[in-house]
Every structure is written in C-alpha cells, then in structure tokens.
Amino acid sequence: MTPVSARRCSKTACGQRAVATLTYVYADSLVVLGPLATVAEPGSYDLCQQHSQGMSVPKGWEVIRLPESDVTPEPDHDDLLALAEAVRAVGFADPDAVIEQTPEVVEVRRRGHLRVLRDPEL
C-alpha cells in the first residue's frame, strides 16, 4: 500500500503531490472530487492542487466537490501493528532453519507472453 503522502497526481507528466481524489459514476453522469482517499482505489484518480482546481467534466455531467481536508490521514493503528509484527517475526527467525518448499509450478512451453504451466499435483 502506497502511503497517502507519497501518492502523485494521476495526470500524465505531472509529478506533483496528490491532494484530492476524483471518482465518477458513469451511469449517473456524476463526478465526485474530494480529499485524498486513504487508499488508492481502481477507477479513481489522485490529483494535485492545480489539476483538482482546473478539472472540467463532459457537458451534462454533475460535479460534487467535497470540502478539502488539511489533515493528512495517519496510517491505521492495526496496519502499523501488523507491519511491526511481520518485521519482528523475520528478525527473530533462525537464519539456518530449513524452509519447507512447496512444489513449484513448472513452465512447459512459452509463446510470446503466454505460458503453458504444468500442475505440480498431476
């Protein structure tokens, strides 16, 4: 998950920090522009200040602009605990321990970007 503060504007060739998230409902001809979402969602666009202010929509579409938030959301406490526990588990692991390997999928054939794989259980 990309931290909220590290997300960049979705507009091509714009490297500015994102401050707003644009979502839309095509069936309702509706665009919602609000504060930067905590999590990047498929189908939404993160925009910088300039692009969020200069945004235009197709004729006949409705725009809902939610008030901007000056507060950057902090990571969820549960996420931080899960990350700390994962790092701790790796740090305390025995480096000489034998890791049980599961059978791997075997590539049988390849053509361009397509591959034929053999099921390890067959």
Q: What is the pLDDT of residues 51-78, one digit of tens each?
A: 999 989 999 999 999 887 665 556 666 7
Domain ranges (residues) in the chain: 1-93
E-assigned strand segments in 45-88? 45-47, 62-65
Pairwise CA distance, residues 105 & 38, whole Å: 36
Burial of 8 (0-12, 13-18, 19+ CB in 10 A): middle
Angle at the Cα of 79 from the Cα atoms of 76 and 85, rounded to 5 degrees = 145
Above 70 in pLDDT, residue 4?
no
For tokens 């997300």, what's the residue?
A: 7
| Per-residue tokens: 111 | 């053509």
Above 80 in pLDDT, residue 27?
yes
